[in-house]
């Protein structure tokens, strides 16, 4: 615990010297475990660009994404994840299926 507190105060002091806003300091009051995740190169490049633009580590973005996913699809009491597709309301249908089909294939004579 002493190391974590010392690291926090060292970080805080360096933030004061560099005039970094303290709202960008995130301290987790939990123990973390290391794991390895493999990403496709385009996805990792995009993560790195976003992390760089927000001046955050990629690991923090991944933790935020996992937090979001768990809050949205989190396991309930059953321990299963229920993922529902999004539902959109686009208004009433103006054409019948036959009219849509005829319109779609009208140029293929």
Q: Is residue 20 classed exposed, middle or buried when 0-12, 13-18 and 19+ CB atoms within 10 A define those classes?
A: middle
pLDDT digits (tens, 9 = 90+) for 5-36: 445 545 555 555 555 555 555 555 678 888 99
pLDDT digits (tens, 9 = 90+) for 87-109: 778 888 888 889 888 888 887 65
- Tallying the residues shown for the chain, one arrives at 109
Say how far apart CA 46 and CA 65 lie, in whole Å. Answer: 14
Say how far apart CA 52 and CA 58 lie, in whole Å. Answer: 8
pLDDT digits (tens, 9 = 90+) for 31-82: 888 899 999 999 999 999 999 999 999 999 999 998 888 887 766 555 565 6
What pLDDT sits at residue 3?
46
| Residue 32 CA neighbour count, 13 Å, CB half | 10
Query: Could you identify the residue written with the tokens 């597709």?
Result: 85
Q: Which residues contact 48 (CB under 8 A, 6 or more apart)?
A: 58
Provide the whole-model pTM: 0.45
CA angle 35, 47, 27 (to 5 degrees): 60
């Amino acid at each position: 615990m002493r190391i974590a507190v010392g690291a926090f105060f060292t970080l805080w002091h360096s933030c004061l010297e560099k005039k970094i806003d303290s709202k960008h300091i995130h301290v987790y009051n939990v123990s973390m475990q290391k794991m390895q995740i493999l990403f496709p190169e385009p996805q990792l490049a995009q993560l790195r660009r976003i992390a760089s633009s927000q001046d955050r580590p990629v690991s923090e973005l991944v933790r935020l994404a996992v937090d979001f996913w768990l809050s949205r699809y989190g396991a309930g009491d059953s321990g299963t994840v229920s993922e529902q597709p999004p539902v959109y309301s686009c208004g009433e249908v103006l054409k019948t299926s036959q009219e849509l089909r005829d319109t779609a294939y009208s140029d293929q004579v």
